[in-house]
Homo-oligomer: A and B are copies of this chain.
Amino acid sequence: MVIAEHLTLQGNPSGGVLGRLVRVCASQGLDSMAAELDRMSEFIGADLSLVEAELRERPMRLDVVGRAAHQLLSVGGKRLRPLSVLLAARMGSGFGPAVQHLAVAVELVHNATLLHDDVVDQGETRRGSSTARMIYGNAASVFAGDWLLVEALRRVHQAGVPELLDRLLDVIDAMITAEAQQLENRGSFRLDLATYDAIILGKTASLFEWALFAGARAGGLSSSEAQALATYGRELGLAFQIVDDVLDVEGSLTDTQKSPLADVREGKLTFPLIVAAAREPRVVSLLREIAAIPEGSALPPEARQALLAALERTGGLEEGKRRARSHVQAARDALSRFPESSRKSALLFVSEAAVSRVG
């Protein structure tokens, strides 16, 4: 299938969200869905290749800062944000130089935040490779994040689409606010859902919202059409983050090979654990114990079992999946004003794929 090949060419072993969907369709004999995906790949594959080539192969700065940035960009990632820009643009007049600038820019912003996050959280691995800071040091990683931000803003400015630069600066501001909220709640292990929602809105959903809005405006859609797509992006981002949280907790507790509960050890709570802690206050002390385990040590089997049992009793994981599905529904609803088309189906596939990961 063209899209599967394309995604393999990207060097992303998991094939990203779309690659996963292709495999799911194939294994479940969903021929019509697979055919739809193939149609989608025809009109989006070439666009994605150009974006990917720019992210990966463009003549990068050769100094230590450039190498640190390139290290992260070249290990891949799902490229969901550029894909969002491209699909939104296809709802209008389609691909062009401005759309390419915006699609590259959104991935650069995302990677800039990852570089700074890894310094701040002392992260050692990312996307299955060593983090840039482990290879090139914290200094190079901080400056590499700064540089990717500059490169992103240059492209958005160059795209010349009104409003987009201001809105992107607002998004980066919102991302920083979310980081501050997370810092301020670090280690308390009590987080209300309103704060959690605000954090994932700022950290994840706001950039997806921008990606869809930017693609739509660059594709010539009206302000209100672009706003509908922006809402789609925001809900998709919320669903995506909650699914990530669910998978992370689930994976940590069932796959003993995985680095156990990295978020908890950094003092951060995610959706399933917030629900569990709210419904069973003694989960809070269990989480504190887990956070106190020295770095590098394994999670004791009893702690693992106790947390898994609490999540089952409180339904934390199920509640997370439910919440993610409801965001996907809200995303779909936001597109109701657009007539059915293969372009719209392609967009809907992305949110479909986001929740397909948790069944």
Contacts and interface: CB of A to CB of B under 8 A. Distances in A.
Contacts of A165: 157
Given A116-B146, A180-B63, A169 B140 contact: no
Contact of A154 (B66, B166, B179): B166
Given A120-B138, A153-B169, A169-B153, A63 B146 contact: no
Given A169-B150, A169-B157, A143 B179 contact: yes
A352 to B, nearest CB: 34
A64 B139 CA distance: 22
Contact of A166 (B121, B140, B157): B157
Contact of A64 (B66, B140, B169, B184): B184
A145 B121 CA distance: 17
A58 interface: no
B65 A180 contact: yes
Nearest to A171: B150
B150 A65 contact: no
In the complex, the 8 A-B pairs of residues with the closest C-beta atoms, listed nearest first: A63-B180, A120-B139, A65-B180, A147-B176, A143-B176, A150-B172, A143-B179, A64-B180
A177 B63 contact: yes
A298 interface: no
12 contacts: A65-B179, A66-B180, A116-B142, A116-B143, A139-B183, A143-B179, A146-B149, A147-B176, A150-B172, A150-B173, A154-B166, A157-B165
A356 interface: no
Contacts of A180: 61, 63-66, 140, 143
Contacts of A61: 177, 180
A181 B63 contact: yes
Number of copies: 2
Interface residues of A, number: 35
Interface string A185-199: 000000000000000
Interface string A51-75: 0000000000101111000000000
A201 interface: no
Nearest to A179: B143
Contacts of A166: 154, 157
A149 B116 CA distance: 14
Nearest to A66: B180
A119 interface: yes
A154 B138 CA distance: 27
